[in-house]
Chains A and B, each alone.
Chain A
Amino acid sequence: MSRYELRFSGAGGQGLITAGIIMAKAASIYEGKQAVQSQSYGPEARGGASKSEVIISDGPIDYPKVTACDALLAMTQEACNKYSHDLKDGGVLLVDSDLVTTLPKGNFKTVAFPIINTAKNEVGREIVANIVALGAMVALTGQVSRENAEKAVLSSVPEAFLELNKKAFSMGYEKALAAKI
């Protein structure tokens, strides 16, 4: 049975738990697969290490946490150092190239682009950096279709910000495709 494991990691307040929830929702509600999202975080409201894990499968999912990571998003150097150890051979690592400058070595593909700056300068609001990252993760992992992921984004954000999030998602998706090649 296929089991695909993703981890969204960074600092508390970067919206990574939300990004993980939307990925899992896309898989389980819109893509017709099964998905479990879990998280761990410190007691701080902001800062501190934060991670959100998503398991996607065609069948029932028992263990809800990552055993060997297929795809890792690291939005801080600390998160990259802490969470890249169990990346699988052939897996994929996505980092914010402004914040993660020391890249781990391993038999996986690394994709880097300035995620937060893309949100700030090209989408217009830094706060949607997590959705830019999500768009990129959707493109890099291929676990859910672009359409289903977009549906999940739009059903998860406030109505007043639909266009902003749609733009952020597309920008991340396109950038990752370009960076991948």
Chain B
Amino acid sequence: MAKKVAFLQGNEAAAHGAIYAGCNFFAGYPITPSTEVAEVCSLELPKLGGKFIQMEDEIGAMAAILGASLAGSKVLTATSGPGLSLKQELIGYGCIAEIPCVIYNVMRGGPSTGMPTGPSQSDVMAAKWGTHGDHPAILLVPASVQETYEEIIRAFNLSEKYRTPVMVMPDEIVAHMRERIVFPEPGEIEVVPRKAPTVPPEQYKPYDTSFGDVPPLASYGTGYKFHVTGLNKMQDGFPTTKAEIVQAEEERQVRKVNANVDDIVTFEEYLLDDAEVVVIAYGSTSRSARYAVNAAREQGIKAGMFRIKTFWPFPDKQIKALAGKVKGFVTPEMNLGMCTGEVERCAQGKVPVLGIFRVDGEPINPDQIVAKIKEVK
């Protein structure tokens, strides 16, 4: 049987992808340019027995999804820059309390209210450093409508597997762009369930590391009673200030993600085999980059592209390896150098890193990238 196809926006695909992944709870405070996610969830989730709540504000929406997740739901919220700022306090709570959830943030111009309808890529650092304190960060940056659908499924899977908030951040172009999408059949893409406790309620501890770095999470309402707090905690979930416990727990929370980068980090290599100049790009900017790389090749320049699909953890290993082989990197992005700084860190001074930065609400066009490729000597 032919697969179902549709002509959809990135935002609409995100909502449908979430539902494929088993999302049954959405809470949000609709904001341009992510509103369509809330719109589709409000129409579709109730039909499937799920819940849609339009909350009173952004942090309320974040609180609602954390609560629903603790009660066993797979949860999603959608927002954009200003909303992401307002959610940050509880994103940190989700990290320390280790509550799976997916935060979909469409990048528009910032800071503050910025440019609501203009594209941007300036929230990638807020995904890692927006909430204070050391904590794990996973950020996926899709570049097409189909990929937005697939990456939000992966986001749900990673959030369950590593018991942590996961962010998906398309830029406004990907979020509002329409393309043909082919829906996978049920079962075609893996959906990871939450690891349930194997011990009876009286023996259960929510942070029991005898089960490894990612302890099983019981659902409220199933007979398991446990304490959840934003304070540094012991294995039973109650607060502690004991130095050795706090140190070990903080390290474990970051390690559970950072020790598994090979499982989490994804990327695409385009014409890298003989490339002398490598464009490192993500989101819609990678589409300009692909066009530019093809144009440069036509002019006899050995250009290639490394496309970042997982922004956090950053693909350090891959970019460090490339830095030893190429003449230079070109880093186009719709911010003033956020990814460029990370690439410079990985390049370790071995090769030049030439950034192209736009924050005027316009996409980086292929000509700009071709011109910059030519600057690499």
Contacts from A to B (Cβ < 8 Å): 21, 24-25, 28-29, 34-43, 62-65, 67
Residue among B7, B117, B290 facing the most chain A CB atoms (10 A cut-off): B7
Contact status A24-B287, CB under 8 Å: no
Contact status A36-B117, CB under 8 Å: no
Instruction: List, in ascending order, chain B residues with CB within 8 A of A64's CB.
Output: 173, 177, 284, 287
Taking a contact as CB atoms closer than 8 A, the residue among B6, B32, B118, B366 that contacts A63 in the complex is B366
Q: List 17 A-B contacts (CB under 8 A).
A: A21-B7, A25-B7, A28-B180, A29-B5, A35-B179, A36-B179, A37-B177, A38-B173, A40-B117, A40-B118, A63-B287, A63-B365, A63-B366, A64-B173, A64-B177, A67-B291, A67-B367
How far, in Å, is B365 (CB) from chain A's closest CB?
7
B16 at the interface (CB under 8 A from A): no
CA distance A49 to B116 in the complex (A): 15
B302 at the interface (CB under 8 A from A): no
Contacts from B to A (Cβ < 8 Å): 5-7, 32, 116-118, 173, 176-180, 284, 287-288, 290-291, 294, 363, 365-367
CA distance A38 to B363 in the complex (A): 12
Residue of A nearest to B6 (CB): A29
How far, in Å, is A135 (CB) from chain B's closest CB?
19
Instruction: List, in ascending order, chain B residues with CB within 8 A of A25's CB.
Output: 7, 178
Taking a contact as CB atoms closer than 8 A, the residue among A29, A39, A40, A62 that contacts B288 in the complex is A62
Instruction: List, in ascending order, chain A residues with CB within 8 A of B365's CB.
Output: 63, 65, 67
CA distance A34 to B365 in the complex (A): 21
Contact status A43-B178, CB under 8 Å: no
A29-B287 contact in complex given A37-B178, A38-B176, A40-B117, C-beta closer than 8 Å: no
A28-B287 contact in complex given A40-B117, A43-B116, C-beta closer than 8 Å: no
How far, in Å, is A15 (CB) from chain B's closest CB?
15
CA distance A34 to B180 in the complex (A): 8
Residue of B nearest to A20 (CB): B178
Instruction: List, in ascending order, chain B residues with CB within 8 A of A28's CB.
Output: 7, 179-180
Residue of B nearest to A30 (CB): B7
Contact status A39-B287, CB under 8 Å: no
CA distance A29 to B182 in the complex (A): 11
Contact status A63-B177, CB under 8 Å: no
Residue of B nearest to A34 (CB): B180
CA distance A41 to B361 in the complex (A): 11
Instruction: List, in ascending order, chain B residues with CB within 8 A of A42's CB.
Output: 117
Instruction: List, in ascending order, chain A residues with CB within 8 A of B173's CB.
Output: 38, 64-65
How far, in Å, is B145 (CB) from chain A's closest CB?
9
Instruction: List, in ascending order, chain B residues with CB within 8 A of A36's CB.
Output: 177-179
Contact status B290-A62, CB under 8 Å: yes
Q: Which 6 residue pairs spanning A and B have beta carbons closest together?
A: A62-B290, A63-B291, A37-B178, A28-B180, A25-B7, A62-B291
Contact status A65-B363, CB under 8 Å: yes
Residue among B117, B178, B288, B294 facing the most chain A CB atoms (10 A cut-off): B178
Residue of B nearest to A44 (CB): B117
CA distance A63 to B309 in the complex (A): 17
20 new A-B contacts, CB < 8 A, other than A63-B365, A64-B287, are: A21-B7, A21-B178, A24-B7, A24-B178, A25-B178, A28-B7, A29-B7, A34-B180, A35-B7, A38-B176, A41-B117, A43-B116, A62-B288, A62-B291, A63-B290, A64-B177, A64-B284, A65-B173, A67-B291, A67-B365
CA distance A37 to B176 in the complex (A): 9
Residue of A nearest to B284 (CB): A64
Residue of A nearest to B287 (CB): A62
How far, in Å, is A145 (CB) from chain B's closest CB?
17
Contact status B117-A67, CB under 8 Å: no
Contact status A43-B366, CB under 8 Å: no
Contact status B366-A67, CB under 8 Å: yes
Instruction: List, in ascending order, chain B residues with CB within 8 A of A21's CB.
Output: 7, 178
Residue of A nearest to B118 (CB): A40
CA distance A62 to B294 in the complex (A): 10
How far, in Å, is A38 (CB) from chain B's closest CB?
5
Instruction: List, in ascending order, chain A residues with CB within 8 A of B367's CB.
Output: 67
CA distance A34 to B7 in the complex (A): 11
Residue of B nearest to A155 (CB): B7
How far, in Å, is A130 (CB) from chain B's closest CB?
16
Instruction: List, in ascending order, chain B residues with CB within 8 A of A35's CB.
Output: 7, 179-180
Instruction: List, in ascending order, chain B residues with CB within 8 A of A41's CB.
Output: 117
Instruction: List, in ascending order, chain B residues with CB within 8 A of A62's CB.
Output: 287-288, 290-291, 294
Instruction: List, in ascending order, chain A residues with CB within 8 A of B6's CB.
Output: 29
Residue of A nearest to B363 (CB): A65
Residue of A nearest to B180 (CB): A28
CA distance A43 to B108 in the complex (A): 12
CA distance A42 to B295 in the complex (A): 32
Residue of B nearest to A25 (CB): B7
Instruction: List, in ascending order, chain A residues with CB within 8 A of B32's CB.
Output: 43
Residue among B6, B180, B294 facing the most chain A CB atoms (10 A cut-off): B180
How far, in Å, is B326 (CB) from chain A's closest CB?
21
How far, in Å, is A17 (CB) from chain B's closest CB?
9
Contact status A38-B180, CB under 8 Å: no
